[in-house]
Amino acid sequence: MEKVIYLDNAATTKMAPEVVEAMLPCFTECYGNASSIYSLGTQAKKALGKARETIAESLGAEPNEIYFTAGGSEADNWAVKATAEAYAFKGKHIITSAIEHHAVLHTCKYLEQRGFEVSYIGVDENGILKMEELKAAIRTDTILITIMFANNEIGTIQPIKEIGEIAKEKGILFHTDAVQAYGQLPINVEEYHIDMLSASGHKLNGPKGTGFLYIRKGIKSRSLIHGGQQERGRRAGTENIPGIVGLAAAAKRAFSIMEEKTEKEMRLRDYLIERIQKEIPYCRLNGDRNRRLPNNVNFSFQFIEGESLLIMLDMKGICASSGSACTSGSLDPSHVLLAIGLSHEIAHGSLRLTVSEENTIEEMDQTVECMKEIIEKLRSMSPLYEDFCKKNEGLS
């Protein structure tokens, strides 16, 4: 394949070489079942224990508070459904935000069909949770607050510590979908009063289909998968040792290079944002300028379709993502972009670029040049743009 400029690291990331290296022996050498008593099995068990320790340490948690899953969606589903079930005796009200990932939103919708009530808290024009609205939504029967750490589309980082403090004070459980934040930002479950936290391996240069849910000791939960005693009886099934070892290797790597990775990404991010703002007219930066993930750039461009922009960027070997989901068979623009107050029309003209520390300034330059050319071309074909130009001429 021709060399691509990969700017879709919020969708997934490339596995790091040290992650692959850590995983390989698990396939062919220590391939035993961690539940077996012979040494091939205990080797696997040891690797599993070590991985659990690595993950726990990265969060300030205890190893027995980490439950491995097959990804972020599974962890989100588990956290929300199991809490709802285990605490239904206390109340049936859940609080979340309007900009959660579908793994949380659709789980909440599912629970609404089962007699739960859900409050979807709004966000301001930059995507920051409306804290007053959150406080006002709390009821005596509220059992769970689930708010994402950082948004996957616009990169906005939420006031997690403040939310955690409110939840703790009111005696409500607090879950956070930290899939985008874990490995990118320092997180401490004690400091932030987090009771449950979801993360995913493939968003931090680890393997796909891996992840974990942190569940604070003492919290009532329900088993996700019934069967054997794996994951302390809460998620049965022979452990995915290569995946878990890969996830832990990825976490270890992410935390050890976090500072320099963040610095590199922010430099690329800010360079992109500044060039786009300066050189492409009629655009809007989505998400908070400062409280945003180090690798996230998200813009709306007037008079164009994000999908067309994506396809034309792909022809130039540039991988990005748009704010509308036309490709997935729906014409609805992103719920996140609508929640920050964009019109359907503007939301449809959105583009997300998420960098990694491996990208270069030259790639950013190439991307901006391509974008300028493509956007100009798309606008020249847009009747809306033509009208707009005519009107403006009339005004001047």
Ligand X SMILES: *Cc1c(COP(=O)(O)O)cnc(C)c1O
CA angle 318, 319, 320 (to 5 degrees): 115
Give the span between the Cα atoms of 59 and 232, in whole angstroms: 20
Active-site residue among 319, 326, 370, 389?
A: 326
Q: How far is the CB of 303 from ligand X (least distance, A)?
A: 29
Contact present, 375 and 309 (Cβ < 8 Å): yes
What phi, psi does 310 have (nearest 5°)?
-60, -45
Closest CB to ligand X among 102 and 390? 102
Q: Is 26 a catalytic residue?
A: no
Q: Which residue is nearest to ligand X (CB)?
A: 72
Q: How far is the CB of 101 from ligand X (least distance, A)?
A: 3
Q: How far is the CB of 293 from ligand X (least distance, A)?
A: 10
Q: How far is the CB of 219 from ligand X (least distance, A)?
A: 21
Give the span between the Cα atoms of 145 and 43, in whole angstroms: 39
DSSP β-ladder status, 196-200 and 117-121:
unpaired
Closest CB to ligand X among 283 and 337? 337
Joined together, the tokens standing for residue 341 give: 């107050």
Binding residues for ligand X, rule: CB under 6 A, are 71-73, 76, 101, 103, 148, 152, 177, 179-180, 200, 202-203, 211
Closest CB to ligand X among 30 and 105? 105
Q: How far is the CB of 117 from ligand X (least distance, A)?
A: 23
Closest CB to ligand X among 73 and 298? 73
Q: How far is the CB of 73 from ligand X (least distance, A)?
A: 3
Sign of the alpha-carbon torsion through 4, 368, 258, 50 = negative
Closest CB to ligand X among 148 and 268? 148
Three-state SS annotation for 225-249: ECCCCHHHHCECCCCCHHHHHHHHH
Q: Looking at the annotation, which residues are catalytic?
A: 326
